[in-house]
Amino acid sequence: MYKPTAPGTWKGRVDTLDGEEGKRWHQGIKLLNLTDEIQPAVAAQPIALLGFCCDEGVRRNQGREGAVDGPPVLRQAMASFAWHLDEEVELFDAGDVFCTNQNLEEAQKQLGKKVHSLLSNTYKTIILGGGHETAYGHFLGIKQALPEGKQLGIINFDAHFDLRSYEKQASSGTPFLQIADDLASESIDFNYLCLGIQQQGNTQKLFNTTHSYNADYVFAPALQVYNFNAVHEKLQQFIELVDVIYVSIDLDVFAAAYAPGVSAPAALGVHPDIVLLLLQEIINSGKLLTLDVVELNPKLDIDNRTAKLAASLIYHVVQQWSQV
């Protein structure tokens, strides 16, 4: 099910005396209704946010539910951001796709349709999850919008590979294996780089699956600013192999001190600084097609710490992406 964002959803601080110089995101964002057929964006740099209100995949994966409430909380966390976007940039809220009656597969199809609609009409897209089952629905839209002959690269900031078997049912732990098999069925390469892997959080079966699909990864302890040159080299090699990039940021990649509000917090996760640096490299390549931020679980959060981190990441992505 899809619902456009209701007028008045975005609200926050208003600095009346500052006039246009006091503008904030909630005053500049425009609402986009995907129920209607949309036209190609007019702005030179249109960026659309789309929510996926779902944690059915987390439930199926025996995780802690609550990510269904991620998108509205993320909007609240972003609402009062200061507006520093150039005139040619337009920021849109394209509403939410909901998972109803635990029908994950239908919700993912609906998400794919909305993503395809945005991408094919020249919008840069940022998906607000939702559990990591968001990724497969997101991919369904990417696949339809991907120009023929273009190599897709997937960069996943995550403590987990999410390459579990979906033989019995799909879940938040299966999206990238589903993607790999979809691509293989069309004789398309599966280019997958996972950054921030926790060895203790992935079984030997998952490592074997990763190797069998020729995927690459960097362990969390190596994903540090002091090791930036080595990680940067691996990242650049990957970027050179592909034509367009889909980035997924699972908030459980971060240390629990920064991101306690996730289903599976990581005591020894990564620092936000290194992720920001790597995102900058990805965006500067000019190959970023679309991005999602997933696994925000507001009911497990502490002082909105995880929501603020996720919102800040999106802020920096929007600022830099709008200049490419």
Q: What is the pTM of this model?
A: 0.98
Q: Which residue in the block uniquely carries the two structure tokens 């509000």?
A: 261
Q: Is the pLDDT of residue 295 over 90?
A: yes
pLDDT value at residue 296: 98
Q: Please give the backbone phi and psi of residue 47, each rounded to the nearest 5 degrees, phi first.
A: -125, 125
Query: 63-92: per-residue pLDDT in tens?
Result: 999 999 999 999 999 999 999 999 999 999
Percent of the chain's residues with pLDDT above 90? 97
Instruction: Give yes or no for a contact between 173 and 252, defined as CB atoms under 8 angstroms apart.
Output: no
For residues 35 and 26, what is the distance between their CA atoms, to the nearest angstrom?
22
Q: Domain-by-domain residue ranges, the chain?
A: 2-321
Q: Is the pLDDT of residue 36 over 90?
A: no
Q: Is the pLDDT of residue 114 over 90?
A: yes
Q: Which CATH entry fits the domain spanning 2-321: 3.40.980.10, 3.40.800.10, 3.40.50.1950, 3.30.450.20?
A: 3.40.800.10
Query: 212-228: per-residue pLDDT in tens?
Result: 999 999 999 999 999 99
pLDDT value at residue 37: 86
In the structure encoding, which two tokens stand for residue 94, read together?
């394209």
DSSP conformation class of 37: P
